[in-house]
Structure 1
Amino acid sequence: MTNSDQTVPSNSQFKPHPRDFGGFEMPSSVPPGMRLELSRAPLKPGQEPVFEEWMNALNDRYEEHEAAVSSERQIFEATFKSTEANGQVWIYHLSLMGAEGAALDGQLPMGADHAAYSRRAKEPGWEELEPKFMLTPLHLRELMEKWAATGIV
């Protein structure tokens, strides 16, 4: 089969989970009280420059994230970009957080800007990938469990 014969997924293949999706059951390797999530969404056509501006703003305003990280009980967040063979650009978002953490706070300037960039750059919603395994050194795991439960170390 040649490349021209292959069927390449397009945006029509994007099936975001509904807003009320409670998430997948966590595997036993994810400590109780934590959520491990990997989400993906396609960028809107022509919005790659907006995405890059968004990521630059997040990097440039890193210190502002502390207030959000504490209330959200985020242990870590990471965003990745992937360009498929057909040119479609996807963003992937990986996070580990306390299950009882708050949602993105739109009252914080960084939270409001983050949400606005999201609306401009990516298709609405996220596809959620099902977590199957997580490995963490024991000494870090204990700190993460405390942070996830209390927001303090």
Structure 2
Amino acid sequence: MTRSTPVSFNIASIQTSGSLIAVGLNDDGSVQVPADYKQAGWYQKGPAPGEQGSAVILGHVDSYKGEGIFFTLKKVKPGDLIDVTRADGKTAHFKVTDVRMYKKSEFPDQLVFGPRGGATLQVVTCGGNFDKAAKSYESNVVVFSSLDSVT
């Protein structure tokens, strides 16, 4: 598929959907996440979902205000579908291949953001134990998927 801005996503298996905003990098070089815990973001410095390469969508698991957009992401299973609707009117359908959790200190940047062959999509949120002193989770949940079809 050619590049087109993703506008929304749907993960039917966990009844999660929403609009997408573009995110980039923070001043320290880390990847931005949306300020709103109910909003998902597409990493615009990488491929758009459906393009060759690794597209990435990020969002919060929760906040002190409540459940975040990806509160149930860890329940996604291989074989589930992730649908991404794009500005060109096409919907890219991705089939989940794996769900993994990584310590933030051991996050596999290249595996998540680097090319893995074909058009892939990774969805990332926080997970694991919550460090109250640091006010953050110790790990990240990563859902890996590959383009299955386009409508």
Same fold by TM-score greater than 0.5: no
Report the structure, 1 or 2, having the larger strand content.
Answer: 2
TM-score for the superposition, normalised by structure 2 = 0.28
Report the structure, 1 or 2, having the larger helix content.
Answer: 1
TM-score for the superposition, normalised by structure 1 = 0.27
The structure that has the greater radius of gyration is 1
